[in-house]
Amino acid sequence: MKATFAESDAPKAALARLRALWIVLASAIAGLLFAPVFGLRPLLLPIAVVLVACYGAVELCIQVKVLQPWRPLTMAVLGLFALSVTMFGSVDVTALAAGVTDSWQLTLQSTWPVRPDAELMFFVPLLVLLAAVIGIELLRWPAVALVPAVAVLVLSQAFVALTGVTAVLAALGFAVVAAGLYMPVRPGLVLIPTVVLGLVGAAVVTVVDTGEPYSLQQSDVAQVPLPRTISPLTEVAARLSNPETPVFSYTTTGPVDRWRLVVLNQFNGVSWEPDDNYRRLGSQVGPSTGAQVREYTAKIKAPEGQWLPSQSMPASVTGTAPLIDQSTGALLVRERKGALQYDLSWWEPQVDDDLSGAALSSSETPGPVGEIPRGLRTWRVRRLEEGGLRSGQPWFWSSTCAATTTWRRVRNFRLAVDGRSCGGFVGE
């Protein structure tokens, strides 16, 4: 490969160093825009390692002429070595391969911000390394040298699009770094347009409402394949036969009215099962209500089972990495052997004691019940065709068994529906 830097000319070598520095800075800024996904602090060290490794490789190739044709390979090898040691503790080829193929997908399958695990965030410094290597090699055509960094920037916005003042500051910072690439040659022609375009872009972003931005987390790739699960309702008989066996134990910092294990809200024609909108639990989940909330914590020891005792609005879990259904708060562990002890934090809405201005309006009318679930509707039609269900016979009832609680007491009940009855169990 033909060398780009000319070491024989000191001014040209200095210019080459400066331009390489601007390229790695632009790549680093693009990588830091993933901060809404991982948090800013976990990204700083691996991206800084990439910056130092790439610039060090450039300087090494300037000093050692024989390495100039191998500069891209030198930057890639030094960058991967530094990343592997920094993030995994050693040179782990298997972890590097998994980071390339799986880390971005695991990130999309998680709630954000993501747990700062190396297996999840490895693809970000890897993108920075790739953009820096390609960008430095494109310095022979300075007009396109920033294209790889811009590509990383666009990808970061496809994950989480920045808005408001943060977006303006990020755009201005990247524009200033981009201007620095050409400023040593024509400072006036670069700096003035950069400032003007930055101010115009800031005004446009502030005034124009672009609506809800798209995120790759909404794609089908972000769906977590659920493992084979067992409904806690099938364990009711075994629990009744051994009432002295505790389901779980806990100590908490706040009042707890009840615990929930799983929400069964999908009917497959035979039994009830959970929904499939589970995600990997990130470092923390914000409250799902606009009301005033307070955070409580509990230490829980659960002897067995896939479903972990939880609350309606979990905030974080330490001690294990479960899946979470954000709409119900249910927690699911993929693989579990033996007892499990973990710490759970959750949000609890706080009700204002002053209800003097609260009142019910008699002019408001209840809304419609809503559509019948597809699976249940199909089951009813099939049963009518087979003659197993008479026309007009009640066939659907609303169930509040969304939260299967602590199994302390389970009693038989009969629920009347239009003069008819059906058997079942409810936990208290």
- pLDDT tens for 92-145 read 888 888 888 889 989 998 998 999 899 899 999 999 999 999 999 998 887 789
Instruction: Name, in order, each residue with C-beta under 8 angstroms of 102's C-beta and a sequence gap of 6 or more.
Output: 119
pTM over 0.95: no
CA distance 128 to 145: 14
Average pLDDT of every residue of the chain: 77
Mean pLDDT by runs of 10 across the 428 residues of the chain is 49 82 93 93 95 93 87 93 91 84 90 90 95 92 88 92 81 81 58 59 57 75 70 78 84 87 83 84 85 87 86 92 90 82 90 61 60 55 52 40 34 34 34
Q: What is the pLDDT of residue 128?
A: 96
Nearest to 270 by CA among 370, 372, 383, 371: 383
| Helical H segments across 89-159, by residue range | 93-101, 103-108, 118-121, 123-137, 147-159
Sign of CA dihedral 101, 102, 103, 109: positive
Burial class (CB in 10 A: 0-12, 13-18, 19+), 370: exposed
Answer yes or no: are the C-beta atoms of 90 and 84 closer than 8 Å.
yes
pLDDT in tens, 240-281: 888 888 888 899 988 888 898 888 888 888 888 888 888 899
